[in-house]
């Protein structure tokens, strides 16, 4: 599915999400969008940044707003200067009026080449003021991939963003996209005041609706020259639950099978023969693994208990339902899709063996169930989302050379190939080494293979 959730006929998916969130912006409310991996948060924010979408949903009122998409993966570095620079850069890129604004340009230049650290927030404040005063439109800043910056930046940045909102009111609104709610990523010091902006305005993103799924599948079938039946849509919804990543992979498998089967094939027979292929698909396995990694240790324990028909922590099950990982069917909890249910079953069968191996192992071990890293049997320091994704990539390919291309695709995603440079990769590797290496200056586990990449030695 296109990243902007657009269909070839110009319509788009997630109409309810879009309309409800834009209504909140119209009321000058800040919104935090949460959802597990690959559920479509980035696609939704990109859609919310498109002026014609505002026009369709809000009519003439849309002209009063200027949405600005801010992809935090484009930060040069995860610092206060890094996020300030990105915000002003995206403001300038978003609109010709702002790009040509000399005051905003001067602020941006002062921020990127400051005479002192004290000038960094001053230049940012000057730039925001220039953008707000440039014309009468209200700014809506859409912060995508906000998890790591929010967890790591100086808390005074959060206080400053809150202060700008307080000063400019309805002329400046924020939206954030994260896996976890902001107050669960970080709370306290000045961050609590920033989190207060989003009280009562959390939008828990759900999988795609049946109608959106059907629209996507029909388009895929038309592109391949095959007719999609209602049973095909029902089959895909049952197995993917409307999760975009699972849907794309499963639709590709189904459409190819229908092409191979030829005209006149019984679709229900094709579907039945596809089930083993769905279970064995590396792409679908990877999507399920990403969802699993987004669950806490307590949530994983609740899922295992549920699928063993044992008593499970009701508060954890409720949280999983709120995040749309579980659904209620006739009053009982079940996984949101058959593919994820099968994934949990396989995980459960491997759990005992994995724990036994971890308990007797020396060196480095990644416990996929708890999400923890063990060094000689002892837990390592908690990793950030990007650090954990890099650690998982290296662990799954232990003793193999992983080049920088593989790291970008595996950690950030293939859409960031041109955005993430060598310096950013090296900084991420350095931070990971600081947390897992007994002596980061002489790495024992993550070794550098000059000119080729990195290798995890177990």
Q: What is the phi/psi pair of residue 96, to 5°?
A: -60, -35
Helix 155-168 to helix 119-134 angle (10° resolution) is 30
Within 95-188, residue ranges assigned H as helices are 96-99, 102-112, 119-134, 147-152, 155-168, 182-185
**pTM for the whole structure:** 0.77
Cα separations (Å) of 244 from 78, 185, 274, 308?
29, 25, 19, 28
Q: Which of 32, 19, 319 is nearest to 177 (CA)?
A: 32
Whether the CA torsion 370, 250, 41, 313 is positive or negative: it is negative
Q: In the chain, which residues have pLDDT < 70?
A: 1-4, 188-189, 351-362, 368-370
pLDDT of residue 1: 43
What CA–CA distance (Å, rounded) separates 293 from 185? 15
């Amino acid at each position: 599915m296109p990243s902007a959730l657009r269909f070839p006929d110009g319509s788009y998916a997630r109409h309810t999400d879009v309309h409800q969130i834009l209504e909140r912006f119209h009321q000058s409310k800040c919104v935090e969008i949460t959802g597990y991996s690959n559920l479509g948060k980035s696609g939704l924010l990109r859609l919310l940044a498109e002026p014609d979408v505002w026009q369709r949903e809000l009519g003439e009122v849309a002209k009063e707003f200027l949405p600005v998409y801010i992809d935090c993966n484009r930060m040069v570095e995860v610092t206060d200067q890094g996020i300030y620079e990105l915000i002003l850069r995206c403001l300038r890129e978003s609109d010709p009026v702002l790009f040509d604004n000399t005051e905003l340009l001067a602020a941006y230049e002062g921020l990127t080449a400051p005479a002192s650290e004290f000038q960094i927030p001053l230049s940012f404040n000057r730039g925001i003021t220039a953008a707000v005063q440039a014309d009468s439109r209200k700014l809506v800043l859409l912060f995508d991939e906000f998890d790591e910056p929010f967890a790591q930046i100086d808390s005074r940045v959060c206080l400053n963003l809150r202060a700008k909102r307080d000063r400019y009111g309805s002329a400046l609104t924020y939206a954030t996209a994260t896996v976890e709610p902001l107050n669960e990523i970080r709370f306290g010091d000045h961050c609590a005041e920033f989190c207060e902006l989003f009280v009562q305005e959390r939008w828990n993103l759900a999988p795609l609706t049946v109608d959106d799924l059907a629209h996507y599948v029909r388009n895929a079938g038309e592109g391949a020259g095959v007719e999609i039946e209602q049973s095909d849509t029902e089959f895909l919804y049952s197995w993917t639950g409307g999760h975009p990543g699972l849907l794309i992979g499963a639709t590709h498998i189904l459409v190819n099978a229908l092409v191979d089967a030829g005209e006149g094939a019984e679709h229900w027979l094709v579907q039945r023969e596809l089930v083993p292929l769905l279970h064995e698909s590396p792409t679908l396995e990877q999507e399920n693994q990403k969802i699993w990694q987004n669950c806490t240790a307590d949530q994983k324990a609740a899922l295992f208990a549920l699928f063993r028909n044992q008593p499970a922590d009701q508060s954890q099950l409720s949280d999983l339902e709120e995040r749309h990982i579980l659904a209620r069917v006739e009053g009982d909890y079940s996984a949101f899709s058959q593919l994820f249910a099968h994934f949990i079953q396989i995980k459960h069968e491997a759990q005992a063996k994995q724990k036994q191996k971890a308990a007797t192992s020396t060196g480095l071990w990644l416990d996929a169930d708890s999400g923890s890293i063990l060094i000689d049997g002892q837990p390592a320091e908690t990793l950030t989302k990007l650090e954990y994704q890099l650690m998982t990539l290296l662990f799954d390919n232990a003793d193999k050379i992983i080049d920088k291309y593989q790291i970008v695709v595996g950690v950030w995603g293939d859409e960031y190939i041109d955005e993430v440079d060598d310096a950013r990769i090296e900084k991420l590797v350095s931070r990971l080494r600081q947390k897992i290496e007994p002596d980061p200056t002489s790495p024992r586990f993550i070794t550098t293979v000059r000119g080729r990449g990195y290798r995890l030695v177990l």
